Amino acid sequence: MSRSHRRAAAATTTAATAPRWLTAAQLEAWQAITQLLGLLSTALEAQLQRDAQLSYVEYYVLAGLSDQPKPHHADQRARRVHQRRNLTLSHLISRLQKRGYVRREPDPTDGRYTNAVLTDAGYSHLVAAAPGHVAAVLELVIDALDDTALSALQDSAERIIARINDARAVSG
């Protein structure tokens, strides 16, 4: 290999391993996204705490349980999450159980798992909390966008979610 070929190969290797940096426009977009995520989650958390004494995550766990095909049962995918996340979910379910919003039942098809089941009290609390939460979502997000912008936001979110899920599948 000639000296010029070795230099070209070294330059290619260095360029391939060099860190990528955000352009000024990308940095501005990223800063706006991170500010949006922080402010929106804080605002929605405050609304749910004030109006329903629920955290944002608690609300969405209850909502997820209410949407299951079997009446008020968590599906198997939710129970087969990563160990650390499963521990966090277990603590969350315990908190909701102490408040009477969920109960645990052995999975009738696989005894290694436990189903989180939404109780009538949990469903009633969710139904009472939903109008205020939906009003906040409408006011803070939906009403700020026209149909085109909302569709673009949904498309962008779905593309990012797919990329995150792809990365999880590769690493886990």
73 phi and psi, to 5 degrees? -110, 140
Could you read off the pLDDT of 96-124 as tens digits, one per residue?
999 999 999 988 888 888 889 999 999 99
- Per the CB < 8 A criterion, the answer to whether 34 and 72 are in contact is no
Which tokens in the block code for residue 78? 């939710």
Q: How far is CA 120 from CA 24, 54, 127, 134, 171, in A?
A: 52, 16, 10, 21, 39
pLDDT score recorded for residue 100: 97
Nearest to 61 by CA among 35, 81, 36, 33: 81
- Per the CB < 8 A criterion, the answer to whether 55 and 66 are in contact is no
**What value does the mean pLDDT of the chain take?**
85
Could you read off the pLDDT of 29-66 as tens digits, one per residue?
999 999 999 999 999 999 999 999 999 999 999 999 99
Q: Which comes out higher in pLDDT, residue 15 or 25?
A: 25
